Amino acid sequence: MVDVEAPPPLYGLDIETDTTVDGLDPSVGRVLAVAVARADQVTVIDDADEAALLTRLDQHLAGLAPGVIITWNGARFDLPYLSTRADRIAIALDLTLQADPSRTHPSDRDRNPIDRLGGVRARWGRHRHLDVYRCYRADVGRALGMTCSLKAVAALVGLAPIEVDAAQVHLLDRARLEAYVASDAACTRELARRRWANASAAIDRVLP
């Protein structure tokens, strides 16, 4: 019998952005909410003041035991978006991004402004990063011919993600917004946990 190493603390992270303008473009769309999912709870940060939101997020992550931040397509969206917004409003995050051409999709650049920044590898303070979307896209997506959206994969494995119109996030009341971003963060974490033995090999390696 082969022993499988227990995973380190896993923190699912998901963001929601302002869809009244262009929620895919960090030059115009602010961050509305961020969720960080742990094994026993989900923390949602949704301050009306974006500077306070990003500062609280950075402080929250700094207070957690060193682990792995799990995102879904975060190498191309969530983390570059957060970094860009922080730069625009002069907030210093303990977030290190390194360009990774293998995670950039040139064909998307005219459609998705965040992709102009390119895909990244990342580290946030003492936490490493894993974009678990890439793991599922590499096998489940190819085998089943799926696009591998978070909701589709989560439903496929028996999870029950909250569904809303992603283009109308700005119409959600606060309670619904919090539930939605928390659901995505929790599903992201669970999808990594379920296949940790394989997914752990895809953790970002960030150079000093």
- In tens digits, the chain (208 residues) has pLDDT values of 444 567 899 999 999 999 998 888 999 999 999 999 999 999 999 999 999 999 999 999 999 999 999 999 999 999 999 999 999 999 999 999 998 876 555 554 555 555 555 689 999 999 999 999 999 988 887 788 788 899 999 999 999 999 998 888 988 999 999 999 999 999 999 999 999 999 999 999 987 7
Cβ–Cβ under 8 Å, residues 141 and 130:
no
Q: Residue 69 sits in a domain of what CATH number?
A: 3.30.420.10
Tell me whether residue 4 is in a domain: no
Tell me whether residue 81 is in a domain: yes
For residues 52 and 113, give the distance between their C-alpha atoms in angstroms, rounded to a whole number.
25
Q: Give the pLDDT score at 112.
A: 54
pTM for the model: 0.90
In the block, which residue shows the tokens 């990342």? Answer: 122
Q: Give the pLDDT score at 148.
A: 86
Q: Give the pLDDT score at 3.
A: 45
Q: What residues are paired with 15 via a beta bridge?
A: 34
| Range(s) of the domain holding residue 159 | 10-199
Total domains in the chain come to 1
Tell me whether residue 2 is in a domain: no
Tell me whether residue 5 is in a domain: no
Tell me whether residue 102 is in a domain: yes
Tell me whether residue 205 is in a domain: no
